[in-house]
C-alpha cells in the first residue's frame, strides 16, 4: 500500500529507490475509549486512497454487520481486526498499519483506550516519534486521556498532536475547542511535552484531515496530513553518543571475525577509535560490513557488522563506544517501572533484567513510590499491580552499561522477565543521574591524597568538660508536622539545663549549605548527607545535635545513622497525619503543592516512608510541642546523653 505515483508504471527502479530513501515517521493514536482513534486512522487511509479494493469491499460488508455508524461505512474496522474488537466496537490490542505519501513513510500504532490495556498502549508507544491524542469534543478530558498523556511523556515522545475529534457533534464550536485546549494545557504543564499542537477535526466526516474544513474557517493551522508530513523529527535522534550493543560474534571462517549489532545511537566511521565495555579494551574500526556492501560511515539505527584492526575480546552483551564518550557502568540504577503482569511486583524477588543484549538477574531493592497517573500524585506503596507505574531502585547481580532514558532510549530502557514463567512482567526507563535521579555521594571514597585529621582533644575530655555524651536526634515527619518548633523547644530546655546543644534546621540548610539543591529524591538525599556530616562534626566537638528534616526515605535515614554513628543517632518520628499538617500549614506549602508549584512535595506529589523502628514517636496531633520536647529530653537522659 503506497501513495499514487507515475513512476510505478514508467520506472519501477526509480520508484523503489525514491521509496527506500524516504524518512520514516512512527506515530500512535491514543486517548479514551470511543474517542475515534480507529476511525481517524481508517478515514485517513480511505481519504488518501490507500486501501486495497478487496479490503475496502470487505469493510463495506462488515460495516453492515459490525459497524457503529448505523449501517454506513465504518472506517474503524480497518484497524479493529480482532473479532472481539469488531463485536464490541473497541480496540483491545495494538493494531499497526503502514502507508506512505510522496514525502514520508508512516507506521501507525492504534492503541487501546481501556484502562486494563494500558500495558498494550505503553508497548505501542515505545518506538514512536509522535503521538496523536484524541479527545471527544463532547466529553473533554477523560481519565484515560490523562493516563495516556502521562505515558507519552514518560516514554519521551517529544511531538504531541492533540486532536479534538467529533467537532461535528458540537456544531464545530470554536469556544468548545478553545475550552478543551485550555484544560489540556493546564494538565500538561506537569508533563514533559516540548512540542504540542492542537487541531479540531471530525474523523468520520474527514474535516481537517487532508484539506481544511469549510465548517471551521476559524481554524488557520495545518491539516493533519500536512502536520504528519512536515513535523521535524531528524533532530530527535541521538547522533552524539555512539553506542552499539554487541548481539552476535560472526565467525564464518578463519579469515573473518566481525561483531554484529544495531547501532543504538551516534555515528561511526571506518578508522575511528573504539572502546569495548566493560573490559575497556580499545582498537580501531577496520571495516563496517552490511548486506549491501561495506560502508565508510554508519549511524543509528543501522544494523552492521564491525571488524577491528586488533584482535580484542568482544562478546555478546558487550557494548562498543568511543573512548572519550562513555556511558555509566553500574549494578545499581534508578528507574521508572511500568508493571505489566497480573501478579504484583515483589520487591526483593529476583527477576531477569534484559538491557540491550545483556541479560542478568536483579531485584527491586526499594520501591520509592507509585504514581497516580490520573492526578500525577506520588504515594508510598509496597508493590505495583497490573498497569501501575512507580519509581524504584534496582540492584543487579552484575554491572551493565547504560545511559539515562531521556538522553538515549536505546541504552536507557530495559524489560523485567519472570524467571519461572519467562513472561515479560515489566518495562523500565532508567533515570539519568545527571538530572538528579541516581547521583549519590554516600558511597563515594575520599581522595587518596587526603588524610583524616584527629583532634588533640579527646572525646572523654569533651564529655568531662560539658558533662554530657554527644548524640544526634533526627526529627522526621511530614511538612508542617511540628519538627522545627519541637527542635526549638528541645534546644531551649537543654540550654537551660546547662547543656551544649545545636539545632540543624532543614530550611536553614537549604538557605545556606544546600542552596544549590532542589527537591528531587536524590537532592533530598544529598541534603541529608550533608546534614549528617555536619551533625557528625558537631558530635565530635561534644555537642548534642537536634536535626529537623522531612527526610522522607528510610534508606537515607539509615545512611545518615551510619555516617553519624548508630550508637549516637536517635530517630524521633513526628507522626501527625497529613490532614492535621494541612490545617497547621501557616506557610501555604500544601496549597502550592496541590497547584503544582512545589514538586516532589512529601504528602502530595512525593512519598513519605515512616521510620520502621523509631526511637520515639511524637504525635503532635495529640501532644503539645512542649510535651514532645519533654519526651525527647527524657529519651536523651535515658540513653546517657546527659551524663
Q: What CATH number is given to the structural domain containing 343?
A: 2.40.30.10
Residue 84 has what pLDDT? 41
Q: Is 640 left (phi over 0), alpha (psi -120 to 50) or beta?
A: left
Q: Is the pLDDT of residue 60 over 70?
A: no
> Which of 321, 341, 360 is the endpoint of a domain?
321
Q: What is the span of the domain harbouring residue 581?
A: 464-638
Report if residue 153 sits inside a domain: yes
Q: Is the pLDDT of residue 113 over 60?
A: no
Sign of CA dihedral 270, 272, 276, 282: positive
> Which of 301, 321, 341 is the endpoint of a domain?
321
**CA–CA separation, 574 and 590 (whole Å):** 17
Q: 606 and 545, same structural domain?
A: yes
- Specify the pairing of strand 501-505 against strand 319-321: unpaired
Report if residue 444 sits inside a domain: no
Interval 425-443 mean pLDDT: 67
Please tell me whether residue 151 adopts helix, strand or coil conformation.
helix
Residue 277 has what pLDDT? 92
Residue 173 has what pLDDT? 95
CA 460, distance to chain mean position in Å, is 51
pLDDT digits (tens, 9 = 90+) for 246-304: 999 999 988 899 999 999 999 999 999 999 999 999 999 999 999 889 999 999 889 99
Whichever domain contains 216, its CATH number is 3.40.50.300
Residue 8 has what pLDDT? 61
Report if residue 149 sits inside a domain: yes
Q: Which long-range contacts (CB under 8 A, 24 or more apart) does 191-195 make?
A: 191/149, 191/150, 191/152, 191/153, 191/376, 192/153, 192/156, 193/149, 193/152, 193/153, 193/157, 193/158, 193/160, 194/158, 195/158, 195/159, 195/160, 195/231
**CA–CA separation, 330 and 440 (whole Å):** 12
Q: 576 and 430, same structural domain?
A: no
Q: Residue 565 gets which letter from DSSP?
A: -
State the pLDDT confidence band at 23, using cuts at 50, 70 and 90.
Answer: confident
Q: What is the mean pLDDT of the chain?
A: 84
Residue 368 has what pLDDT? 83
Q: 346 and 298, same structural domain?
A: no
Residue 622 has what pLDDT? 94
Q: 95 and 131, same structural domain?
A: yes
Interval 108-120 mean pLDDT: 65
State the total domains in the chain. 4
Report if residue 333 sits inside a domain: yes
Report if residue 43 sits inside a domain: yes
pLDDT digits (tens, 9 = 90+) for 197-243: 999 999 888 899 888 999 999 999 999 999 999 998 877 888 889 99
> Residue 63 has which C-alpha cell?
460495516
CA 562, distance to chain mean position in Å, is 30
Q: 492 and 369, same structural domain?
A: no
Q: 522 and 611, same structural domain?
A: yes
Residue 90 has what pLDDT? 38
Q: Is the pLDDT of residue 5 over 80?
A: no
Q: What percentage of the chain has pLDDT greater than the value 90?
A: 49
| CB 139 within 8 Å of CB 169 | no
**CA–CA separation, 354 and 361 (whole Å):** 9
How many CB atoms lie under 10 A from the CB of residue 397? 11
CA 449, distance to chain mean position in Å, is 39
| CB 259 within 8 Å of CB 314 | yes
Q: Which residue has the higher pLDDT, 467 or 520?
A: 467
**CA–CA separation, 118 and 135 (whole Å):** 17
Q: 503 and 606, same structural domain?
A: yes
> Residue 523 has which C-alpha cell?
537532592
**CA–CA separation, 563 and 558 (whole Å):** 9
Burial (CB count <10 Å: 0-12, 13-18, 19+), residue 244: buried
Interval 98-107 mean pLDDT: 83
pLDDT digits (tens, 9 = 90+) for 559-583: 999 899 988 999 999 999 999 999 9
Q: 251 and 212, same structural domain?
A: no
**CA–CA separation, 286 and 307 (whole Å):** 5
Please tell me whether residue 506 adopts helix, strand or coil conformation.
helix
Report if residue 446 sits inside a domain: no
Instruction: Give the length of the chain.
Output: 643
Residue 274 has what pLDDT? 94
pLDDT digits (tens, 9 = 90+) for 339-361: 988 899 998 899 999 999 999 99
Q: 487 and 576, same structural domain?
A: yes
- Angle at the Cα of 178 (from 140 to 27), degrees rounded to 5? 65
> Which of 306, 321, 336 is the endpoint of a domain?
321
Report if residue 611 sits inside a domain: yes
Q: 630 and 610, same structural domain?
A: yes
Q: What percentage of the chain has pLDDT greater than the value 70?
A: 85
Report if residue 339 sits inside a domain: yes
Q: 337 and 315, same structural domain?
A: no
Q: 372 and 469, same structural domain?
A: no
Residue 87 has what pLDDT? 42
Helix (H) / strand (E) element for 328: namely: strand 328-339
Residue 89 has what pLDDT? 41
CA 306, distance to chain mean position in Å, is 33
Amino acid at each position: 500500500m503506497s501513495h499514487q505515483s507515475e513512476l510505478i508504471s514508467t520506472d519501477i527502479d526509480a520508484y523503489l529507490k525514491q521509496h527506500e530513501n524516504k524518512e520514516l515517521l512512527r506515530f500512535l493514536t491514543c486517548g479514551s475509549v470511543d474517542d475515534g482513534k480507529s476511525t481517524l486512522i481508517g478515514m485517513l487511509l480511505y481519504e488518501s486512497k490507500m486501501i486495497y479494493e478487496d479490503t475496502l469491499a470487505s469493510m463495506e460488508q462488515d460495516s453492515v454487520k459490525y459497524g457503529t455508524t448505523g449501517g454506513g461505512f465504518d472506517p474503524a474496522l480497518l484497524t479493529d481486526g480482532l473479532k472481539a474488537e469488531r463485536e464490541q466496537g473497541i480496540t483491545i490490542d495494538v493494531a499497526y498499519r503502514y502507508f506512505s505519501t510522496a514525502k514520508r513513510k508512516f507506521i501507525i500504532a492504534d492503541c487501546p483506550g481501556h484502562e486494563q490495556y494500558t500495558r498494550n498502549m505503553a508497548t505501542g508507544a515505545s518506538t514512536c516519534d509522535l503521538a496523536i491524542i484524541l479527545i471527544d469534543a463532547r466529553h473533554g478530558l477523560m481519565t484515560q486521556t490523562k493516563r495516556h498523556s502521562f505515558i507519552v511523556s514518560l516514554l519521551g515522545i517529544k511531538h504531541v498532536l492533540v486532536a479534538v475529534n467529533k467537532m461535528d457533534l458540537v456544531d464545530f464550536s470554536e469556544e468548545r475547542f478553545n475550552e478543551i485546549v485550555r484544560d489540556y494545557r493546564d494538565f500538561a504543564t506537569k508533563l514533559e511535552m516540548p512540542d504540542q499542537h492542537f487541531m479540531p477535526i471530525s474523523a468520520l466526516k474527514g474535516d481537517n484531515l487532508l484539506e481544511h474544513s469549510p465548517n471551521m474557517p476559524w481554524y488557520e493551522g495545518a491539516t493533519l496530513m500536512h502536520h504528519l508530513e512536515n513535523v521535524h523529527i531528524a533532530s530527535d535522534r541521538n547522533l552524539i553518543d555512539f553506542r552499539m550493543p554487541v548481539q552476535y560474534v560472526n565467525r564464518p571462517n578463519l579469515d573473518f571475525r566481525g561483531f554484529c549489532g544495531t547501532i543504538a545511537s551516534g555515528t561511526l566511521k571506518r578508522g575511528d577509535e573504539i572502546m569495548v565495555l566493560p573490559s575497556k579494551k580499545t582498537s580501531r574500526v577496520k571495516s563496517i560490513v552490511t548486506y549491501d556492501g561495506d560502508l565508510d560511515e554508519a549511524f543509528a539505527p543501522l544494523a552492521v557488522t564491525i571488524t577491528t584492526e586488533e584482535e580484542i575480546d568482544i562478546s555478546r552483551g558487550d557494548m562498543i563506544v568511543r573512548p572519550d564518550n562513555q556511558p555509566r557502568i553500574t549494578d545499581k540504577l534508578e528507574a521508572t517501572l511500568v508493571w505489566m503482569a497480573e501478579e504484583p511486583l515483589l520487591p526483593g524477588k529476583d527477576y531477569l533484567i534484559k538491557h540491550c543484549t545483556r541479560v542478568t538477574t536483579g531485584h527491586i531493592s526499594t520501591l520509592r513510590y507509585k504514581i497516580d497517573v490520573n492526578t500525577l500524585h506520588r504515594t508510598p506503596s509496597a508493590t505495583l499491580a497490573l498497569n501501575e507505574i512507580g519509581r524504584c531502585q534496582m540492584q543487579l547481580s552484575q554491572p551493565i552499561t547504560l545511559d539515562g532514558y531521556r538522553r538515549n532510549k536505546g541504552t536507557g530502557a530495559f524489560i523485567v522477565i519472570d524467571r519461572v514463567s519467562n513472561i515479560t512482567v515489566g518495562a523500565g526507563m532508567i533515570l539519568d543521574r545527571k538530572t538528579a535521579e541516581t547521583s549519590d555521594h554516600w558511597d563515594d571514597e575520599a581522595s587518596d591524597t587526603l588524610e583524616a585529621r584527629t583532634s588533640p582533644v579527646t572525646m572523654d575530655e569533651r564529655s568531662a568538660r560539658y558533662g554530657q555524651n554527644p548524640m544526634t536526634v533526627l526529627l522526621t515527619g511530614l511538612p508542617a508536622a511540628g519538627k522545627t518548633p519541637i527542635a526549638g523547644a528541645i534546644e531551649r530546655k537543654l540550654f537551660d539545663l546547662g547543656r551544649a546543644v545545636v539545632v540543624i534546621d532543614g530550611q536553614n540548610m537549604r538557605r545556606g549549605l544546600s542552596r544549590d539543591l532542589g527537591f528531587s529524591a536524590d537532592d533530598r538525599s544529598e541534603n541529608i548527607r550533608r546534614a549528617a556530616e555536619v551533625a557528625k562534626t558537631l558530635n565530635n566537638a561534644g555537642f548534642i545535635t537536634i536535626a529537623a528534616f522531612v527526610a522522607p526515605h528510610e534508606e537515607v535515614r539509615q545512611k545518615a545513622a551510619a555516617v553519624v554513628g548508630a550508637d549516637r543517632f536517635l530517630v524521633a518520628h513526628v507522626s501527625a497525619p497529613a490532614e492535621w499538617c494541612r490545617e497547621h500549614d501557616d506557610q501555604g506549602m500544601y496549597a502550592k503543592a496541590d497547584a503544582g508549584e512545589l514538586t516532589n512535595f512529601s504528602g502530595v506529589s512525593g512519598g513519605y516512608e515512616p521510620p520502621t523502628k523509631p526511637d520515639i514517636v511524637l504525635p503532635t496531633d495529640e501532644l503539645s510541642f512542649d510535651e514532645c520536647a519533654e519526651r525527647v529530653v527524657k529519651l536523651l537522659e535515658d540513653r546517657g546523653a546527659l551524663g
